[in-house]
Chain A
Amino acid sequence: MSLSRSDIDKIALLARLELTETEIPVYVDSLSRIIDFVGELDRADTRGISPMAHPLPGLAQRLRADEVLETDRHERYQRNAPQVEAGLYLVPKVIE
């Protein structure tokens, strides 16, 4: 299966990735080949087989009680933020 330039544009938008003009043809080619390659799975007979839900048989996602366990450490965490003001993360204006 061959992906087109517009397919890659659409995937890149969904994935929130800006691609350069030189990158686009590279991904048109390599993603097409990867999609062909994983298409091999079609030849497996999976009738009546449930999709795996957990790598360990019989185990499911563990839940915990809804209790506050962590303390507020936002100042510390925000040290890695590109732009912060008054404890808030700054982004370009969203609402005009």
Chain B
Amino acid sequence: MSALPIHARTLAGLAKGLKQREFSSVEITREFLDRIAASQPALNAFVTVTRDAALAQAAVADERLKAGGAPALTGIPIAHKDIFCTEGVLTTCGSKMLSNFVSPYDATVVARLREAGTVMLGKANMDEFAMGSSNETSFFGPVRNPWNTAMVPGGSSGGSAAAVAARLAPAATATDTGGSIRQPAALCGVTGIKPTYGRVSRYGMIAFASSLDQGGLISISAEDAALLLGAISGFDPRDSTSVDSPVPDYTATLGDSLAGVKIGLVREFFDKGLDAQCEARIREALAVYEKLGAKLVEVSCPNLPLSVPTYYVVAPAECSSNLARFDGVRFGHRCENPKNLIDLYRRSRGEGFGAEVKRRIMTGTYVLSAGYYDAYYLKAQRVRELISRDFANAFGECDLLVGPTSPTPAFPLGAKTADPITMYLNDIYTIGANLAGLPGMSIPCGFADGLPVGLQLVGPHFSEARMLNIAHRFQTETDWHLRVPAAYA
């Protein structure tokens, strides 16, 4: 019998224990709720904890488990990033603007995970409207990195990543517009997957940049990610960009051999900005893949260095349009005593949005304004096409790309808040996948000065099954993904 404490188990391990009646859903849900409460002063990983509802859902799950034939995820507690609408529960998106917003409906991701039997522990903290790479832009205060609380957890899904790293939840939903799943997963030493654009419904997922946003997951292992991804993927008529293609059983191929798999090393990912210790960990991970029978080939994506400037035209442009809905009229923050309608709009928005969100809205407004649209937005969409072609060419020579997720391990709070461009450059290795709509993952591959380092995998469109297989095989050879910060062991 495994003596592993409940919180240290993977989601797959918890599912097995529930099925074998080793423990009940109420027991494990209470355990995670208690851990969340104890961690909150130090980590601030949650905006809302739905304790009573969670225990009630867990009790229902226990009945279903007792009756038999319950879905595989029945009774598994998870956290939702506070960007996903949850019916009857505060949904803030990390913003003062939505600090009073109780969603009247569930996001499709939330509904599907509930139907799959999961129990919601609460809503994870995040950068405001998912705009940030350090979780320092949240109206509800920064999240701290469980490996070292002087450090950021990454962002924007910083609460989700910190929660899984500190084992406050076995898994959490997350979203990725420019690296917001993969970068915090890397900085917190957990597994993160951003699926192909259109694989997971965006309905009820508060929009930031609609041509880039994609919902996904943060978990302990690739196996756990495979279990959850199957539940959240698939066509949704309520999302006009949802793709109608079959969802494979992602768990079925996890153990496939890697013999002959061609792993591409993108030359541009190993640039002078990459920290030497991070590079060493990536090279060690590549050696593991060679041992598993994979072949390494060098490829080039010459336009990839332009991905950050491309993103900082496209994403703010889409954000300025999406965030126009926050008008102080129908929901969200409204200013006191508006003089007229324009005053109502301007003060409600000026007061309701934080500094970074306003910066992005204004950048987007500028690049879309009369006389500048061609020079910035159309130009960026042309470069985006070039970047996308670079990836397509690279996939002509290999099955999957592997490299660093982030140029450095976690950095101290406050270190990059003075200069937005320094902060933006954190996502230099992750943004390309969003621009091209490709699936990506980050998996733990070691440490640099006690802080986790993430290995990034990027695959062709709809290659999630292969990517999870390649991640899983690494995790059967290494145990980096099972390491837990001492304070939360």
Q: Which residues of A contact B (CB under 8 A)?
A: 3, 7-8, 11-20, 23, 26-27, 30-31, 33-35, 37-42, 44, 46, 49-57, 59, 61-62, 64, 73, 76-83, 89, 91-94
Q: Give Cα A34–Cα B198 distance, bound, in whole angstroms.
A: 29
Query: Which one of A19, A34, A56, A61 lies within 8 Å of B421 (CB-CB)?
Result: A34
In the assembled complex, which residues on chain B have CB atoms less than 8 Å from the CB atom of A82? 328-329, 331, 334
Complex Cα distance, B384 from A49, in Å, reads 10
Smallest beta-carbon distance B192→chain A, Å: 19
Which 8 A-B pairs give the minimum distances between C-beta atoms?
A: A55-B437, A51-B381, A18-B350, A80-B331, A46-B382, A82-B334, A18-B346, A16-B345
Q: Residues of A contacting B351 with CB < 8 Å?
A: 18
Are B382 and A50 in touch, CB under 8 angstroms?
Answer: yes
Q: Chain B contact residues (Cβ within 8 angstroms of A): what range?
A: 35 or more
Q: Report if A91-B421 is in contact (Cβ < 8 Å); known contacts: A52-B381, A52-B384.
A: no
Q: Which residues of A contact B196 (CB under 8 A)?
A: 56
Stretch binding the partner chain, chosen from B15-23, B156-164, B309-317? B309-317
* Nearest-Cβ distance from residue A8 to partner chain B, whole angstroms: 7
Interface-side segment among B146-154, B277-285, B362-370: B362-370
Q: Is B240 a contact partner of A61 (Cβ separation < 8 A)? A: yes
CA separation between A94 and B359, bound complex, in Å? Answer: 29
How far, in whole Å, are A17 and B352 apart by their CA atoms in the complex? 10
For chains A and B in complex, what number of residue pairs have CB atoms within 8 angstroms?
175
Contact B436 A91, beta carbon cutoff 8 Å? no
The chain A residue with its CB closest to the CB of B339 is A92
Q: Which residue of A lies closest to B342 (CB)?
A: A16
Question: Are A38 and B312 closer than 8 Å at their CB atoms?
Answer: yes
B295 contacts chain A at the CB level, 8 A cutoff = no
B353 contact from A17, A49, A62, A78, Cβ within 8 A: A17
Contact B309 A41 (CB under 8 A): yes
| Docked pose: A82 CA to B342 CA in angstroms | 16
